[in-house]
Structure 1
Amino acid sequence: MPTGVAIQDAREQLFAAAERILLRAGPDGLTSRAVTAEAGCAKGVLHRHFADFDTFLAELVLDRTARLDDQAAILREAAAAGTGTVAGNVADALTQVFGPVGVAIVALTISRDGLRARLREAVPTGIPLLNPATTMIANYLAAERERGRIAPEADLETLAPTLIGATHLLFADRQAPRPEVEAVERTVGAVLAGVFQRTSG
């Protein structure tokens, strides 16, 4: 695309290009030149929309993290209806959270000091994606506790981050085959063992 020619929806096109690079080459392959080349636009387009590359990356992470709202809504509906099993619902949700893009986003965040500095302006503590995912799981477990499918004494503030950490370890190696759903369910079931009520597990 010639220099100076605007592209439609430049922000989303640049984000989509960055995602493709992350999935193909990992965080090390993600540069401003690589992103604009992948998007098929002039190098200046990125800097017309973002103050610098770390700002671009921070907005990418926050934009993709916001998509967790859809998964949270699915979990809320499952809890309200009392459908499926608790372990199955959590395993399904975390498999979505740690999809290829989610895993790449976590790796990107951990690998770049400048990006984390930008993100701390919006999210003072923790790691974007992991923090809201932890909240999503804790809220779901709380809803299931209210329905009587999780024991009243269950320590959700400990269980939710434990589930996030244990599941992330299953998916963290981008080069390895993705784990089967059954493996995720076994991990979730092991973490939640002892807090299921009746036959909800």
Structure 2
Amino acid sequence: MPTGVHLRDARQHLFDAAERVLLREGPHALTSRAVTDEAGCAKGVLHRHFADFDAFLTALVLDRAAQLETQADALRRSAGTDTVAANLTGALMTLFGPVPVAIIPLITFRDALRVRLREALPRGGIAILAQATDAIRAYLTDERARGRIAADADIDSLTLSLVGGGHLLFADRDPGPPAAAVVGKFVTSVIAGVVPPGPA
């Protein structure tokens, strides 16, 4: 796209371009030039909307983290339906989809980005993982209140096990994400001691 051509919703256009670069080439390849080349626009377009590249990356991560809130809400609404294992399996498949999993190493790779995320969000230094943790913890708490998880279940430990182990399952994107059956087996093993056998 030639310099000077107006981009409708330029921020989102740049975010989408950055996401494609991130998924295709990884965090080390994500530069302002790579983003604007992918977006088909002049480099100045990015700097018209963001003070610097770290400001752009911060906005990108916050935008994608906000999208997880919708998925977190859906998980909480699922409490009391289907089985706990099925709900958690579906949640991990979504919360650790290709884009969130690609963003996590980007955050760990860039110190300045983590600093800005901490300023923008409570516990925001590792955004995405924080959103996943909050979503799983809230869901488990709701299920415990419904009696589908043991009353003495340690929600924090379960959450850490599910989020940490789940992230490890999805972290290797080559040759692709784990199958639902693999994730389901992992979830079932984590919750085996706190979910009674049967339809729950």
TM-score class, shorter: over 0.9
Tell me what 1:162 maps to. Answer: 161
What is the distance in 2 between the residues matched to 1:116 and 1:135? 18
User: What CA distance in whole angstroms lies between the structure 1 residues aligned with 2:122 and 2:77?
Assistant: 30
CA distance in 1, matches of 2:117, 2:57: 9
Structure 2 matches for 1:42-53, cutoff 5 A? 42-53=42-53
Shift of 1:2: 2.7
Consecutive unaligned residues in structure 1, runs of 5 or more: none
Instruction: Look up the match of 1:117.
Output: 115
Partner SS state of residue 78, structure 2: helix
Match of 1:62 in 2: 62
How far 1:192 moved relative to its partner? 1.0
Kindly provide the amino acid, as one letter, of the partner of residue 83 in structure 1: T
Q: Which residues in structure 2 correspond to 1:31-180 (within 5 Å)?
A: 31-79=31-79, 82-125=80-123, 126-180=125-179
Structure 1 residue ranges (4+ consecutive) displaced by more than 3 angstroms after TM superposition: none
Q: Normalising by structure 1, what TM-score? A: 0.94
For these two proteins, the number of residue pairs brought into alignment is 199
User: Does the CA-based 8 Å contact 1:148-1:197 persist in structure 2?
Assistant: no
Distance verdict in 2 for CA 1:19–1:60, change over 3 Å: same
Contact 2:76 2:135 in 1 (8 A): no
Shift of 1:52: 0.6
Map of 1:182 onto structure 2: 181
Native 8 Å contact 2:17 2:39 kept in 1: yes
Identity of aligned residues (%): 59
Q: After superposition, give the CA deviation of every residue in 1:15-57 in whole Å (9 maximum; x if it has no partner).
A: 0000000011000111000101111111100011011101101
Residue 13 of structure 1 aligns with which residue?
Answer: 13
Contact 1:86–1:200 at 8 Å: present in 2 too?
no
Contact 1:149–1:200 (CA<8 Å) still a contact in 2? no
| Residue aligned with 2:126, SS | coil
Partner of 1:199: 198
Output the CA distance in 2 between the equivalents of 1:127 and 1:84. Answer: 31
Unaligned runs of 5+ in 2: none
